[in-house]
């Protein structure tokens, strides 16, 4: 003690050492008793993701998406850059079926484009929103695709393009994010089940004579599809055919019978008439 009292430098060093040890002990105890548990699967899922932090999944980045998958049960297929391989890897970590995929993807309910007449030549801002604001747009059909690509610009996955004047969805590339649907001023982009089933590619609710004047391939509400569907899955409402996918088994009779070819195959092939109706899981 006399030595410490006579040597203030040594005394200061010892005091600092004691304080350092005490502080370290406090930090160790705090880390032990105040630790926040994090599920190790979050890091594993994050490692599976593409790391692009593109936000296309609807989350702020890959880390947030990984946390949402593990903590909140978010869908595992939203990483478009990673594709099916990433979804399968995540499903294995989560103990889910590897076939887990989005059950709905975008479908443009219009086949007009070059088949549709024009009211006038549009020379304004090259966006669908701007064109729609000018006398309802240049298209002779007030319900059809304007073809100026607002949906194409909104899609982060290059899954929708304007072809021959009408937007067309690349279904394998579509992630079902609904970005294209949100920006369409005509609201003609809908979400359709992923299945071998047809779709009515027309949204015009005018009577047949008016539709014929506006578009070569528009639905005229003749009801032939409704009369021939063996499952009662097709019906005409407000002068346009609609399909109830809870009843449709994908037999394709409506596609064959439609005189205006307004019903198209979007993916897959016709099934036998007596095939069971698929029951896709709705997002």
Domain that holds residue 15: 2-33
Indicate the pLDDT class of residue 260, thresholds 50, 70 and 90: very high
Q: Which of 30-34, 84-88, 149-153, 273-277 reaches the highest mean pLDDT?
A: 149-153
How many degrees, rounded to 5, is the angle at CA 187 between CA 156 and CA 134? 100
Residue 164 near residue 79 (C-beta atoms within 8 A): no
Q: pLDDT digit string (tens) for 143-160?
A: 999 999 999 999 988 999
Does residue 283 lie in a domain region?
A: no
274: which 2 tokens? 């007596």
Are 209 and 238 part of one and the same domain? yes
Are 133 and 11 part of one and the same domain? no
The domain total for the chain is 3
Q: How many CA atoms lie within 13 A of 97 on its CB side?
A: 4
Q: Is residue 179 over pLDDT 60?
A: yes
**DSSP assignment, residue 114?**
G
Q: Is residue 100 over pLDDT 70?
A: no
């Amino acid at each position: 003690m006399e030595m410490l009292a006579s040597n203030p430098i040594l005394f200061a060093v010892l005091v600092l050492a004691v304080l350092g040890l005490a502080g370290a002990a406090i930090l160790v105890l705090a880390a032990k008793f105040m630790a926040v548990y994090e599920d190790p699967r979050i890091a594993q899922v994050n490692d599976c993701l593409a790391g692009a932090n593109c936000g296309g999944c609807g989350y702020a980045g890959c880390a947030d998406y990984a946390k949402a998958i593990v903590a909140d049960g978010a869908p595992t297929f939203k990483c478009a850059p990673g594709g099916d391989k990433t979804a399968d890897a995540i499903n294995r970590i989560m103990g889910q079926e590897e076939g887990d995929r989005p059950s709905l993807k975008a479908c443009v309910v219009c086949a007009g484009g070059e088949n549709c007449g024009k009211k006038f030549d549009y020379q304004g801002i090259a966006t669908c929103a701007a064109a729609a604001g000018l006398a309802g747009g240049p298209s002779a059909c007030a319900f059809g695709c304007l073809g100026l690509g607002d949906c194409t610009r909104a899609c982060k996955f290059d899954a929708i393009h304007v072809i021959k004047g009408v937007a067309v969805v690349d279904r394998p590339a579509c992630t079902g994010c609904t970005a294209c649907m949100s920006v369409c001023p005509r609201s003609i982009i809908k979400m359709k089940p992923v299945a071998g089933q047809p779709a009515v590619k027309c949204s015009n609710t005018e009577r047949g004579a008016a539709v014929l004047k506006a578009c070569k391939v528009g639905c005229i509400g003749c009801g032939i599809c409704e009369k021939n569907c063996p499952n009662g899955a097709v019906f005409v409402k407000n002068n346009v055919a609609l399909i109830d996918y809870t009843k449709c088994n994908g037999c394709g009779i409506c596609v064959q019978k439609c005189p205006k070819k307004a019903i198209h195959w979007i993916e897959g092939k016709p099934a036998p008439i007596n095939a069971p109706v698929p029951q896709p899981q709705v997002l």
